[in-house]
Chains A and B, each alone.
Chain A
């Protein structure tokens, strides 16, 4: 099974790093979408089916926390797994994000193996639950 992922970060360097890490993790990725902030991400999600979202927290226009909240309010998007990729070290914020439905938190700098573990764990669970 191949997957469609959305990478949300205002830094094109980070979007490239995440794409590279996903490729190096050996995952079967059919399509990678990109967005520079939460608002662009919602537009991408409205136009495309996405299996998993990787998002930064600190972005202009709409930040990662606001994106997660918007997705949680949407009947369809609420089931799409979200992984936060951030250098923010606050455990308190990580706990807040989990309460909002964020499924995993990858700290920068990240390694491809970290992506592999997270993606496999999340998407196997999704397949088992019958979602696409």
Chain B
């Protein structure tokens, strides 16, 4: 089973998770505002009837907002900067739960990998992936992409 999801459905899942988990409101963004440099990226692999990778790329400001809201910190608290990467990593983990459920259903045996977070000079290209671009009212952008792994030959 290929790990494929429609871009608008992926956008819906990310939007809902940002609202439910972190009280951050976004809308699909086309054209997407440019990313500043650097950006933060969190990604993990997943396996089940199919396999692939889920990645989130966002601005440091949005990641700090995630940290503030997930951890109950005041915006501007220096701790939000220190924990922005960890917060983005945990957010991709939570998102993976709903993406994997969407892809394979509740009965499938699935495995979600450990998130990796890194700072990038520029957002990675998304060749072969389903990509959803969202932005907050303040223009802070977050991209989600699901990249299916190549199918093994029978």
Specify which of B20, B70, B106, B113 is in contact with A17 (CB 8 Å cutoff). Answer: B70
Pick the interface stretch among A8-16, A38-46, A68-76: A8-16
A132 located at the interface, meaning its Cβ lies under 8 Å from any Cβ of chain B in the complex: no
A60 located at the interface, meaning its Cβ lies under 8 Å from any Cβ of chain B in the complex: yes
Among residues of B, the one whose C-beta sits closest to the C-beta of A108 is: B94
Specify which of A20, A86, A89, A109 is in contact with B106 (CB 8 Å cutoff). Answer: A89
Contact-residue bracket for chain B: 20 to 34
B120 located at the interface, meaning its Cβ lies under 8 Å from any Cβ of chain A in the complex: no
Complex Cα spacing A88 to B94, Å = 8
Among residues of B, the one whose C-beta sits closest to the C-beta of A87 is: B97
B86/A89 in contact, CB under 8 A: no
A13/B71 in contact, CB under 8 A: yes
Known: A13-B71, A107-B97, A109-B94. A89 touches B20 (CB 8 A): no
Contact-residue bracket for chain A: 20 to 34
Specify which of A13, A89, A90, A93 is in contact with B70 (CB 8 Å cutoff). Answer: A13
Specify which of B20, B72, B107, B112 is in contact with A58 (CB 8 Å cutoff). Answer: B112
Additional A-B contacts beyond A11-B93, A13-B86, A13-B90 (19; CB < 8 A): A11-B89, A11-B90, A13-B71, A13-B87, A17-B90, A20-B71, A58-B111, A58-B114, A60-B114, A86-B97, A87-B94, A87-B98, A89-B101, A89-B106, A90-B108, A90-B110, A107-B97, A108-B21, A109-B94
A-B contact pairs, 10 of them (CB 8 A): A11-B86, A13-B71, A13-B83, A13-B87, A13-B90, A20-B71, A60-B114, A89-B97, A108-B97, A109-B94
